[in-house]
Each structure stands twice: as structure tokens, then as C-alpha cells.
Amino acid sequence: MAETSGSRRVVIVGGGFAGLFAARALRNAPVRVTVLDRAEHHLFQPLLYQYATGILSDGKIAIPLRELLKRLRNVEFVLAEATGIDAAAKRVQARRPLGGQLEFDYDYLILAAGVQQSYFGHDEYATFAPGMKSIEDARRIRRRVFGAFEMAESATDPAERSRWLTFVLVGAGPTGVELSGQLRELATKTLSSEYRHIQPKDARVLLFDGGKAPLAAFGPKLSAMAARDLKKLGVELYMGSIVTEADLHGVQVKDHEGNLTRYEAGTILWTAGVQAPPLAAAVAEATGAEQDRAGRLICGKNLSLPGHPDILVTGDLMSLDKLPGVAEVAMQSGLYAGRRITHEAQGQTYDKPFKYRDLGSAAYISRGRAVISAGKLNFGGFPGWVAWLFIHIGFLTGFRNRVGALLSWWTAFVRDMRRERAFTMDDLPVRLYEDKIETSDSGLRAVPQQSASADKPEPARQTRPPAS
């Protein structure tokens, strides 16, 4: 990286949308930029569910950060995870992937580290109920989903077969709605004629949420449309229902009347709730900044932390005016942070506060069905699906990824073919625990060595798919 004498140092923590747009905005500024991320790629999170269900490959939704940043001559990338800061010394502490500490001095710090899955105080659920925030999460979901059909095919006990063919999703925001729809399409179309001992179309997909309707943030009209389309697909909706207990073999759910019901399931997918990463707490302790309920950092209108104008918070990590955790917020806040630093590095003042321009929201239901909310425009069905295609093609990073996604969608939507289905069985939950046999009055029964129990969690709600 070429250094300019006297240029200021900018450290960007996170290579998601916020970090990437901030780095691009700084390309002509008299600054030296270091981007830190524990992943070597920039990820398009809104399409992770299509990777998990075999439509897209990881290369179509992820692109190496070094490739994206190579033309920005004043920017360098370091593969490391930021763990804390020394606000007085203006220094970031980070950890290398295989161990070892690094430190980076800064004049400006842009925090764009995103968020992580929240299990509402029951992190033990993550062992058997993966979320979907990273490529690794999506790979795990792919193994669970396709592995469940394989386990059902070889099962001889009807109860075991039924359990493997039952999929539970917790959270009816966009991620839960899109993933549940894809599971039913997978079962009724792609896999419908590939098995000899099971009927994939018999797979049950159960969607639970503490709210009154799926996609509640989209408004009553689109929410009702989504519910109707999901039911047509065969998704079973359980609204006003809170998961109170989850374990390797299923979930216990409390409905709006307080009744508890047990649902046996071979696959549990967690699509509800987010929380800030540990870095946010470390920054709050170092700066005295406040955090919201999800642990995100509360910042001012200029995105800086109170008393620390040199530290800017962007994307999902910032808590400002109840803005949603979506790609557009991340992009616009990253762009704002980069522009503000550029002006100040050039000796100019930048008093303009951050103002978010809402470009709307979109959620995919199934082939030919999607819902779009953009200002006063609220529509769905086939027109919504077409609009969804154009929106996501526009947001994908790189020409190659856009063309590749279009070709993959063509084979998936027209020919019911999903070519990205390779998986291994080594991560299926059946391998995580060894069942022991104990004798009961009714005979022998299998009892897992571990089980997860939970008090009443917060209602499982998610406004829109997060992107950092």
C-alpha cells in the first residue's frame, strides 16, 4: 500500500456492505486504510438461503475481499478478528486466525462488524439449531436439510422417518419465510422423484413466530399475501407461538393461549433474532458508549460515539432511529462514514447528519411469488417476483456473480434443478450425541445424553435480512 506522508490512518472493522462502501468512499482521500475481517470474503447475506438449499454456489454470493479492494491503492486488507480497542491510545487489538495478537493505530475507526445470531440467552441451541449469518452457517443448514432426507430414506421405523421429514423454523421474518418456502419447493419439485422409499413431498415444514403474522414489518397487506402463498406451498404456520424448549429431537412451543405442545423434528433451523458481537461490549467498555437491548452501539446523527468523534459506527452494529438491519442501511451508512472522513482529512468540515433513504424491502416466497414494499408501492405475486429478481441482481457484487446467479436461477426455476447440492454427513446432529438406552416401565427407549431446556424466550421476530 502506498503511504502518503502525513496521511491519516483509518481502520475499518468488517468487510460487509458497510465496510466495503466506506473503503470505496475513501479511495481518493489522503488517508491510509486498513480493513480487518475474520472472513476473507465479502458475503451477500440475503441469498444465503439459496446457497443452503442448493440453488447457488458459494462463489456466486461471496467474492474475495482482496479482489474487491485491489484497485484501491490506499487500502490494505488484513485477515484478523478485532477483539477490542484502546480509545485513549487510538489503537485496535485483533487476533490472527491461528493465534497471535495484532495492533493497529488509527486516527479514525469505522466499526462495521455486523451482528450475529441471537438465541435469546440459550446459546446451547446453536449446537442443533443453526442460524444463517455466514457461509459456514449455510453449509451446516445444507448438510442438515439434505442429510435429513437421506436419513429418512434409510429409516425403517415410521416414527423415525416422520421425525426426519419434519423441519422446524423459528422466526417468520424474511429469512424464515424465504427458507421455509424453499424447503417445500425442494421437497415437492427437485427431490420429488429421486427417492425409492420415501415421498419427499410428505415433508412437513413448520414455521413458528411470536408475532401475529409472517413478514409483519411489511404491513398487513403483504403479510397476508405471504401467509396465503406459504400455506399454498404447504408450510404450516404457527403464529403467536413461542419456542420455550428445544433439543436434538424437537421443540416445545407455547401458543397465545398458554398451551404447551411438543413437536418432534429432525431438523431445527433458527431464523429469529440478532445480537451484537463481543466487540461491541468491548468498545462500549472502552468508550463509555451505551448499548441497546441487542447490544448494538448507540451513536449520534453523525454516526460517531458520544465523546469520540473519531469512532464511527455503521451497518447492523449501529443503533440509530430504529433503523432496520438491511443492506441498504449498511451501504448508505458506510458511504456516509467514508465521505465524512474524506472531507475532514482534506481540512473541510462535514456537519451534514446521516439520513437514511428507504429504498424498500423484498422477500422471496417461491418460484413466481414474492412481495415488494417500496414507499407507497406494495405488491406481490409474479410482478413482485420479477422485481425481486432485478433488485437482487443489482445488489450482487461483480459481473461474474450476476451472470452466474441468472444461469443458476434459470435451471432452478425453469427445470427444477439444483446443481449445488454437495454435502457431507459429518455435521448431522445425530453424530453430536450418543443415545443411551435406559429401561422404563414401557420398555426400552432412547434418551439423549444432553438436552436443551429454556425459559420463555423473547418473541421470535426479525424485521428484514441483516447485512453488515
Same domain, 284 and 382: no
Number of domains in the chain: 2
Residue 269 lies inside a defined structural domain of this protein: yes
Beta bridge partners of 116: 275
State residue 404's pLDDT score.
84
At 205, which CATH number? Answer: 3.50.50.100
**Residue 449 pLDDT:** 35
Identify whether 244 is part of a domain. yes
Q: Which residue has the cell 429409516?
A: 155
444 and 304 in a common domain: no
CB 248 within 8 A of CB 432: yes
Tell me, yes or no, whether 374 and 239 share the same domain. yes
Q: Which residues contact 177 (CB under 8 A, 6 or more apart)?
A: 207, 214, 215, 226, 230, 363, 365
Q: Which of 63, 85, 56 is nearest to 17 (CA)?
A: 63
Inter-residue contact 62 to 138 (CB < 8 Å): no
Q: Does one domain contain both 129 and 250?
A: yes
367 and 388 both lie in a single domain? yes
Q: Is residue 208 part of a domain?
A: yes
Domain identity same for 297 and 392: no
Residues 238 and 261 in one domain: yes
Q: Which has more pLDDT, 117 or 443?
A: 117
What is d(CA 396, CA 335) in angstroms, rounded to the nearest whole number?
17
Three cell numbers written together for 304: 460517531
Report yes or no on 127 lying in a domain. Answer: yes
Same domain, 334 and 256: no
- Show which of 345, 369, 392 is a domain's final residue: 345
Q: Any idea which residues carry the catalytic annotation?
A: 178
Q: Please name the helix (run of DSSP H) or strand (run of DSSP E) that holds residue 357, with its range, or none.
A: none
* Sign, Cα dihedral of 404, 405, 406, 410: positive
Residues 317 and 202 in one domain: no
Last residue of a domain, one of 345, 372, 400: 345
* 208 vs 461: CA distance, rounded Å: 10
Tens of pLDDT, residue by residue over 190-220, are 999 999 999 999 999 999 999 999 999 999 9
Rounded CA separation 362/113 (Å) = 24
pLDDT digits (tens, 9 = 90+) for 127-173: 899 999 999 999 999 999 999 999 999 999 999 999 999 999 999 99
- Whether 185 maps to a domain, the answer reads yes
Checking if the pLDDT of 400 tops 80, the result is no
160 with 244, same domain: the answer is yes
Residues 255 and 286 in one domain: no
In a domain, 44, yes or no: no
Mean pLDDT over each residue of the chain, to the nearest integer: 88
What is the average pLDDT across 352-378? 91
pTM beyond 0.85, yes or no: yes
176: domain range? 123-273+361-448
Does some domain include residue 55?
A: no
Q: Tell me, yes or no, whether 22 and 92 share the same domain.
A: yes
Residue 407 resides in a domain: yes
Question: Is there a contact between 208 and 172 (Cβ–Cβ < 8 Å)?
Answer: yes
* Cα–Cα distance for residue pair 205/231, rounded to 1 Å: 10
Cell triple for 435: 443415545
Among 299, 314, 345, the domain-final residue is 345
For residue 451, pLDDT over 60 is answered with: no
